[in-house]
């Protein structure tokens, strides 16, 4: 894998960290940046941790992911890192330390300040950061649709199916 673009993107949410927020974040990125930068892409690879809104055990995330792939028309492959192993995710090592350094020791007094500080995250090798604010209010406590589990369209891998699967557009 090469790091040719040397760009990172952050979606900041003003509501709850839900599976809908995670999928809306990816939708926003794909529609405005990814599609333009990768016009010949046939699939997207998501490297996810095992907890939170995109947890490996959450069927609601899988349902929202299926809705997303149906909307954007491209397959998404998900590879979850086991618990406490997300530190091996290249985003954690290659991008987040620079964002943290750009914000270090500064007061987050306004949303504009946070966005400005995060956009200033860069490196001497040319890393650029884009930031978007998603203002939608996300509902908590949603339940997976009753028929989703029964007709589960998600394709689980033979190797470590709990952590590796694909959502394919209908």
What tens-digit pLDDT sequence spans the chain (170 residues)? 445 788 999 999 999 999 999 999 999 999 999 999 999 999 999 999 888 899 999 999 999 999 999 999 999 999 999 888 888 888 888 899 999 999 999 999 999 999 999 999 999 989 999 999 999 999 999 999 989 988 989 999 999 999 999 999 99
Let me know how many helices (H) and strands (E) the chain has, helices first: 7, 6
The residue segments making up the domain with residue 38 are 27-167
Q: Is residue 87, in this structure, part of any structural domain at all?
A: yes
pLDDT of residue 169: 96
Judge whether 21 lies within some domain. Answer: no
Q: Is residue 133 part of a domain?
A: yes
**100 lies in a domain?**
yes
Please state the φ and ψ torsions of residue 80, each to the nearest 5 degrees: -90, 140
Q: Is 2 domain-assigned?
A: no
Evaluate whether residue 119 is within a structural domain: yes
Whether residue 141 is contained in a domain is answered as: yes
Tell me if 20 sits within 8 A of 13, measured CB to CB: no
Q: What is the pLDDT of residue 5?
A: 84
Number of domains in the chain: 1
Strand partners, 45: 77
Evaluate whether residue 18 is within a structural domain.
no
**How far apart are alpha carbons 108 and 115 in whole angstroms?**
9
Question: How far apart, in Å, are the Cα atoms of 162 and each of 48, 78, 119?
Answer: 12, 10, 35
């Amino acid at each position: 894998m090469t790091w040719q673009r040397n760009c990172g993107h952050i979606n900041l949410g003003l509501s709850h960290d839900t599976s809908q927020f995670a999928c809306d974040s990816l939708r926003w990125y794909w529609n405005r940046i990814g599609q333009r930068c990768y016009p010949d892409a046939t699939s997207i690879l998501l490297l996810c941790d095992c907890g939170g809104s995109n947890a490996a055990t959450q069927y609601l995330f899988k349902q929202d992911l299926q809705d997303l792939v149906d909307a954007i028309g491209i397959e998404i492959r998900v590879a979850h890192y086991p618990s406490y192993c997300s530190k091996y995710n290249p985003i954690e090592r290659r991008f987040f330390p620079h964002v943290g350094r750009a914000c270090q020791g500064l007061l987050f007094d306004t949303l504009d300040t946070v966005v400005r500080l995060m956009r200033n995250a860069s490196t001497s090798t040319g890393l650029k950061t884009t930031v978007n604010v998603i203002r939608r209010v996300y509902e908590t406590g949603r339940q997976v649709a009753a028929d989703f589990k029964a007709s589960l369209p998600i394709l689980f891998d033979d190797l470590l199916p709990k952590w590796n699967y694909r959502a394919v557009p209908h």
